[in-house]
Every structure is written in C-alpha cells, then in structure tokens.
Amino acid sequence: MLDRTKERFRLRIIIPAFPAFNIYSYIADRTTALGPVCVATAANKLQHWDVEVIDENNLRMHGPRGPIGADHKLLQWIRPADVVGFYGGLTSTIPRLYELSNFYKKAGCITLAGGQHFLEENIEEGLNSNLDYIIRGEAEETIEEFLLALENNKSLEGIKGLAYRQNGKTVLTPERPEITDFDQFPIPDFSLVRYARIIMYPVGRIRGCGMNCEFCTVKGNIRCASPERLMEQISLLLETKDARHFFVVDDLFGQQRSETLRFCELLKNYQLAIKKRLDLAVQIRLDKAKDAELLTAMRAAGINIVCIGYESPVEEELEVMNKHLKSQDMVDLTKLYHKAGFIIHGMFIFGYPAKEGTSFTLSIDERVKAYRNFIKKAGVDTIQVLLPVPLPGTEFRKRLQSQNRIYPKERLGWEYYDGNFPLFEPDPPITAEQMQEAVKKIMGKFYRFRHMFMILVNIILFPSMIFYLHNIKPGWRQWYRQWRNHLIRFGGWMTFRGWMAAFKKDPFSENLQKAKEDLTAQKGLKK
C-alpha cells in the first residue's frame, strides 16, 4: 500500500539487464529504450510524483552497479521508491524482471510491468511473479490514472488497460484504445534516465506497422505524430544534451510518404540554420530504394544509415515469410541505396521453418553459402544474423505450438529468447545445433580480426582516396565507408568473441538436450 502520509512519492521505471553478454551489449551500452522514457515523462508531470528511469544495460555514469545490472539495495537506500515499474518489451529480460519484482515486493513497493511480453497469454505468469499490476497496451495514459488513483486511494476499476488480482481472481479492465493524439503528451525527457551515458538517442513519430509479418510482435494500425513533433524531439536533445546521433525507432521509415518528405525538409533546413550536421539511422523497407525523391531527401536531411530487414536471401524462405522479392531483386535494390550514399545494416533470420505442406530443398551448408554470397554480392556494410524467435503473441509462435515444435520453457526459459539460441525443433534433417553453428559461421566470416589491419591500410591510403575520381566529396564518402566498415567489423569481432566466451559458460547445450528429450516424450504421450 502507498504511504499517504508522505508529501511526495517516487516512481522508478527499470529496464532490466540482458541475461548475459550478447551481440546487443555494445549498442545497449550507448542508447536506451524510448518507451520507458515516454511513460516516465507522462508520469513526471503529476504534481506529487518524482520519476526516474534506470537502464541496467547503460550504467556508465557512476551508476550503482551490482553483479548483474544495478545494485537495487543501494538504490533503495539512497532514494526509496514507492512504486516500481518494469519494462517488459524484450522477452529475454523477463527472468531478470521477475528477479527484481521479487526484490522490490519484499521491500514493500507496489510493482507493475508493461510491454510486448505481457500479452494475455503471459498475464497470469506475471501476476504469479510478484507483479501487483500489469499495464496492457500503451501506458502513457494508464500510468497517470493509475498513480493518481493510488495517491487518492481510489478504485482502479475505471482504469482501462490494467490487469491485477482481486479476492484471488484476475481482473482485466477494458482495453484502452490506441493513442492517436500524441501532442497531448510532453516531449520525451531523457534527463529522467539516471546514470546513463547516451550517445545515440531514440526518437520516433510512427507507431504500428501494416506489414503483419508472422514473426513480429508489432502490429496494428499505423498512427503518426506530426513531423514537427519529431523535429521538436531532435532539436530539444541537441539543445539540452548536445546530441548529434539519432535512431528513428519507427518500424518502417517512410510509411507516410508525404509527411516523411516534409520531415526531411524540416530537418535539412534546421541543420542549415544552426550550421551543424546531424547523423540519423532509420529502419526502412528495401523496396523504398525505387523512390529516388525520397532517398535524395533522406540524404539531404542527414540520414546516413538504413537498417533493412532482408530476412533471407533464400527464395523458398522468402516465400514462406510472404516477402514478395527475389534474391537478385534484393541485390539490385541494395545497390540503389549504396548509389544514393547510404550505409546499410542488414538484418537476417536464419533457419526459418517451412509451413505445413511445403519443404526446403537446400541443405544447411547450401543455405550458409547462399547467405555469404548474397551479403558479399550486395555489399551489405554490417550484418545481424539471428535465429527465428517464437515470441509471445506472434502467429509464428502459434504455428509452432500447433505443431508441438517449441522446446519446453521449463528447460529453455525466456532468457534464451534473444535470437542467439535455437528454441524449436527445426525442419529435418537439420538439427538445432547445426542451426546455431550456421549463424556462428556467417557472423564469424563477416566480423574478423583482419579488419584491424585494414583500418591501418585505409588510413595510409587516405590521401589517394580523397581525390578518387578527381572529386573530393565522392572520394571522402568512399574512403569513410570503407574505414568505418573495417572499424565496426573489427569491433564486431571483439563483440562476437565476448559472446562466444559467455556462451561457453552458459548451460544452454545441456538444457537443449533435456529440452529435446522432453519434447520427444510429449509427442509420444500425444500419440
């Protein structure tokens, strides 16, 4: 219960630590999640509440570190929280989330959580794991009403989008409509993130995605804020944090073409006015390469990096994923992005399972070769290759569950749901171990130690590259792209080595064997 004798209360929102060192650790140490900051900002405008965000993956500024993440015992001693909220947007962090909810519950705090993991199928699990309340859906409006109700000792029944226990029964209040008017909320306030050193700031304008990919949790209607609001986010961060690097978190940049062009024009003119150059990365569809006007506007606005979900270069897999592109078309479109001057980060999913009634003819070695050849042919600058993850709430998970192919969660828990581990029985004759080894081969071939020497070679060749084609601008671009790629690939090699070292200490292999045995036994019982 809330101590209502106090004049002020504290809400602490925690982004739980990753379960172990992995390929996300490098970037996580330099950014944070936008959602918790938006929720914290909405709550911070309440008169009697102080709000803070603790990102356990980014504690670089004298943060109270513990063996894993933050030292929450020390945090509670320094600044006791009354209500503690947990960000459940990443399924792999859920075990850490439950560990923290247990700690704070014992400390006498009110605990709540929200995020993509807490769909209806996981609500009971959350309420059984020392969470008093779960926010379903977007939380900006719900958190305000919830905190005011606690403060004034009012009933929670009228608050939409909540789940909690009452008299031993689970109560689900009516769903809250999706937010369409974003201007009612203040601009996200990153000063609420304590101890973090943020280099790349997440900003956003669009929520929802109309692609309806089987494996993705982001669904729903596309809802857009104005380009002016996104510009305000960027200008505020530049003025208050001297921020120069931004990541637009919209799932597909350019979904609203006319407004996207207007945003690019606003951003270009803003940089000309302040005489400073900004650096932006976006997620975008591959086929947007055909829109020459959009690409020109993006480059003029300072968008340098495009993150593209290729998913797979294998024709059969593309068909299963409902990707209406051929491998050669993907190469041609990639070259258009390169011609426009973009650096390309390619995102791939290896080993996607066939749907019932279909089968793949390529062996695992042929698939690995297809990935390597495509990446080289397309000239993708950096890559991320993951295994398919049957995330809660996705059609992909439902399909695999109906086929009884997902390894039992009791053996392979949520902490393995980050794309680095095989979580289901793959298409025969491929084994789970072969799938994981294949990803290591692709990533290990791409991120190599030899790139350290190539960095030196690029520096030596700098003068000649600058005057390549007798023009400084394209010469600089080509030199910078090569130098940057070698630098990042060498850094990727170091990250990959760290992940491999962490993997060797993890009991995954042993757990996988037991999970296989359990799944075989389950199938035997069903027969």
Give 24 or 409, the one with higher predicted confidence: 409
pLDDT of 488 reads 77
CB 348 within 8 A of CB 371: yes
**Tokens standing for residue 334:** 């990639």
CA distance 199 to 243: 7
CA distance 285 to 19: 31
Could you list the beta-strand ranges (E) of 56-119. Answer: 83-87, 110-114
Same domain, 102 and 204: no
Would strands 83-87 and 9-15 be described as parallel, antiparallel, or unpaired? Answer: parallel
Name the band, by pLDDT with cuts 50, 70 and 90, for residue 258.
very high
pTM: 0.92
What count of Cα atoms within 13 Å lies in the side-chain half-sphere of residue 105? Answer: 17
Residue 66: which CATH number? 3.40.50.280
CA distance 279 to 122: 39
Same domain, 155 and 240: no
Q: What is the mean pLDDT of residues 179-198?
A: 95
Q: What is the mean pLDDT of residues 257-263?
A: 96
Burial (CB < 10 A; 0-12, 13-18, 19+), residue 377, is: middle
CA distance 99 to 16: 10
Q: What is the mean pLDDT of residues 481-495?
A: 75
Whether residue 55 is contained in a domain is answered as yes
Whether residue 166 is contained in a domain is answered as yes
Name the band, by pLDDT with cuts 50, 70 and 90, for residue 526.
low
In order of 44, 135, 140, 360, the CA distances from 186 in angstroms are: 10, 20, 10, 50
Same domain, 352 and 478: no
Name the band, by pLDDT with cuts 50, 70 and 90, for residue 491.
confident
Same domain, 290 and 333: yes
pLDDT of 466 reads 54
CA distance 84 to 110: 6
Residue 348 has pLDDT above 80, yes or no: yes
Find the helix or strand (DSSP H, E) in which 14 lies.
strand 9-15
Write down which residue in 154, 172, 190 finishes a domain.
Answer: 172
Same domain, 389 and 484: no
Domain of 480 in residue numbering reads as: 447-522
CA distance 226 to 262: 10
pLDDT of 399 reads 93
Q: What is the mean pLDDT of residues 487-503?
A: 74
Same domain, 163 and 238: no
What is the gyration radius of the CA atoms in the chain, in angstroms?
24
Total of domains in the chain? 3
Name the band, by pLDDT with cuts 50, 70 and 90, for residue 464.
low
Same domain, 482 and 366: no
Give 47 or 360, the one with higher predicted confidence: 47
Write down which residue in 155, 172, 189 finishes a domain.
Answer: 172
SS3 label, residue 358: coil
pLDDT of 362 reads 84
Same domain, 433 and 454: no
Whether residue 149 is contained in a domain is answered as yes
Percentage of the chain modeled with pLDDT above 90: 70
Whether residue 28 is contained in a domain is answered as yes
Same domain, 220 and 354: yes
Name the band, by pLDDT with cuts 50, 70 and 90, for residue 461.
low
**Tokens standing for residue 124:** 């009971």
Q: What is the mean pLDDT of residues 159-177?
A: 95
Same domain, 353 and 483: no
Could you list the beta-strand ranges (E) of 290-337. Answer: 303-311
Residue 141 has pLDDT above 90, yes or no: yes
Give 100 or 459, the one with higher predicted confidence: 100
Give 3 or 252, the one with higher predicted confidence: 252
**Tokens standing for residue 419:** 């794309």
84 beta partners: 12, 111
In order of 121, 125, 354, 404, 425, the CA distances from 519 in angstroms are: 21, 21, 19, 8, 9
Whether residue 344 is contained in a domain is answered as yes
Same domain, 241 and 288: yes
Percentage of the chain modeled with pLDDT above 70: 93
Whether residue 72 is contained in a domain is answered as yes
Residue 465 has pLDDT above 90, yes or no: no
Residue 360 has pLDDT above 80, yes or no: no
Name the band, by pLDDT with cuts 50, 70 and 90, for residue 307.
very high
Write down which residue in 172, 191, 226 finishes a domain.
Answer: 172
Whether residue 479 is contained in a domain is answered as yes
pLDDT of 184 reads 93
pLDDT of 462 reads 59
Token pair 């403060």 is at which residue?
151
Residue 331: which CATH number? 3.80.30.20
Residue 299 has pLDDT above 80, yes or no: yes
DSSP codes joined into one string, 376-388: HHHT-SEEEEE--
Largest Cα–Cα separation, the chain:
78
Burial 112-127 (b: 16+ CB within 10 A, else e): bbbbbbbbeebbebbb
Burial (CB < 10 A; 0-12, 13-18, 19+), residue 455, is: middle
Residue 469 has pLDDT above 60, yes or no: no
Whether residue 179 is contained in a domain is answered as no
Same domain, 92 and 217: no
Residue 483 has pLDDT above 80, yes or no: no
pLDDT of 416 reads 94
Collect all residues with Cβ–Cβ distance below 8 Å to 246 and sequence separation of at least 6.
200, 201, 202, 203, 234, 237, 278, 279, 280, 281
